[in-house]
């Protein structure tokens, strides 16, 4: 890793935490991470927690991200939330293309090709999730899948903005399963993604942050975060407790 890439530890809360629970969490998290230097920290929260978390995290090192958005600024899209609405509420970023959204809610690469630049245009940091299924890995189809997702999802992002995107490599078989990728698998896939970005722009490849996600816990984080191409982690289950999430942030800062 080059000195220019500050690691990012992002917690994906998924559909957990009422506003009251979120408030308790952030009050527990802030003192635990306030003196940890050398890592950026984000919590990716349900829409209903955004306002309260933005207010409570203001002035701290913790950024607040959403977990999805529509690409249009407004319109007749019942049930959707726009990039403008997210930036207006004070969110600093948004998770896009999480495998749970791709698999359970029909999120397509075509939609992501619109969402990623729309997030950037609204001043949000997109965390674009990519990754292969278990059968794709078994069939040695991982590289093809990653190549296709990176190409299709970033097609409308100009080269000079590629470093404003965060990419999360999340092998689907490792999400919420307790089956973590080996350090070799994580490094190989993430170096491959970096090379794909390099096919677009060599300088962007050096600057773009690529996270690993999939069953990251306090006790395996240090090994994964020490890998040369791994610039942080997208953490699901282990981000729901302030203590374990803060330990992962500490591991990133200590690398």
CB 122 to ligand PEP: min, Å = 22
Considering the complex, what minimum distance in angstroms separates the CB of residue 161 from ligand PEP? 23
Binding residue (CB under 6 A) for ligand PEP from 113, 172, 224, 234: 234
């000195």: which residue's tokens?
3
Q: Minimum distance from CB of 62 to ligand PEP (Å)?
A: 18
Task: State the Cα–Cα distance between residues 219 and 162, nearest whole angstrom.
Answer: 32
45 in Cβ contact with 86 (< 8 Å): no
Chosen residue from 235, 248, 251, 252 binding ligand PEP by CB under 6 A: 235
The reply to whether 184 belongs to the active site is no
Mind giving me the DSSP string for 8-49?
A: EEEEE--S---HHHHHHHHHHHHHHHTT--S-EEEEE--HHH
Distance CA(253)–CA(104), nearest Å, equals 34
**Where is 133: in which H helix or E strand?**
none
Is 70 an active-site residue? Answer: no
* Residue in the block written with tokens 């994906």: 12
In this complex, which beta carbon is closest to ligand PEP, that of residue 82 or of residue 99? 99
Mask: binding to ligand PEP, 161-180, rule CB under 6 A, as x and -?
A: ---------x----xx----
Q: Applying CB under 6 A, which of residues 12, 56, 142, 163 lies at the interface with ligand PEP?
A: 12
Binding mask 97-136 for ligand PEP (x = CB under 6 A): ----------------------------------------
242-253 helix and 19-33 helix, angle to the nearest 10 degrees: 30
Q: Rule CB under 6 A: is residue 244 a binding residue for ligand PEP?
A: no
Selected range binding ligand PEP among 20-28, 33-41, 67-75, 230-238, rule: CB under 6 A: 230-238
Which of residues 82 and 142 has its CB atom nearest to ligand PEP in the complex? Answer: 142
Answer for which of 119, 237, 242, 253 binds ligand PEP (CB under 6 A) is 237
Sole window of 55-63, 65-73, 117-125, 233-241 interacting with ligand PEP (rule: CB under 6 A) = 233-241
Q: Is 83 in the site for ligand PEP (CB under 6 A)?
A: no
Contact 223, 181 (CB under 8 A): no
Among 40, 215, 227, 246, interactor with ligand PEP by CB under 6 A:
215
Q: Is 68 in the site for ligand PEP (CB under 6 A)?
A: no
- 72, 75, 77, 118: which is closest to 96 by C-alpha? 118
CA distance 183 to 198: 22
Instruction: Phi first, then psi: give them for residue 194, nearest 5 degrees.
Output: -60, -40
The DSSP code for 162 is G
Q: Which residues are catalytic?
A: 98, 170
């Amino acid at each position: 890793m080059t000195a220019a890439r500050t690691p990012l530890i992002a917690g994906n809360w998924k559909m957990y935490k009422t506003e009251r629970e979120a408030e308790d969490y952030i009050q527990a998290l802030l003192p635990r991470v306030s003196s940890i230097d050398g890592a950026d920290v984000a919590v990716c929260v349900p829409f209903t927690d955004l306002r309260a978390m933005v207010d409570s995290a203001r002035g701290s090192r913790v950024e607040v991200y959403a977990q999805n958005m529509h690409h249009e600024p407004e319109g007749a899209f019942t049930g959707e939330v726009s990039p403008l609405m997210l930036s207006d509420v004070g969110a600093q970023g948004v998770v896009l293309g999480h495998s749970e959204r791709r698999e359970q809610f029909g999120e397509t690469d075509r939609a992501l090709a619109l969402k990623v630049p729309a997030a950037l245009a609204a001043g949000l940091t997109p965390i674009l999730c990519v990754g292969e299924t278990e059968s794709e890995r078994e069939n040695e189809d991982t590289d093809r899948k990653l190549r296709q997702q990176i190409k299709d999802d970033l097609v409308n992002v100009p080269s000079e903005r590629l470093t404003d995107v965060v990419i999360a490599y999340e092998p689907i078989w490792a999400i919420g399963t307790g089956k973590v990728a080996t350090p070799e698998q994580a490094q190989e896939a993430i170096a491959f993604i970096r090379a794909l970005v390099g096919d677009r722009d060599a300088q962007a490849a050096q600057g773009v942050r690529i996270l690993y996600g999939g069953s990251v816990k306090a006790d395996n984080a240090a090994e994964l975060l020490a890998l040369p191409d791994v610039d942080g982690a997208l953490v699901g289950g282990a981000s729901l407790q302030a203590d374990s999430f803060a330990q992962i942030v500490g591991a990133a800062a200590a690398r």
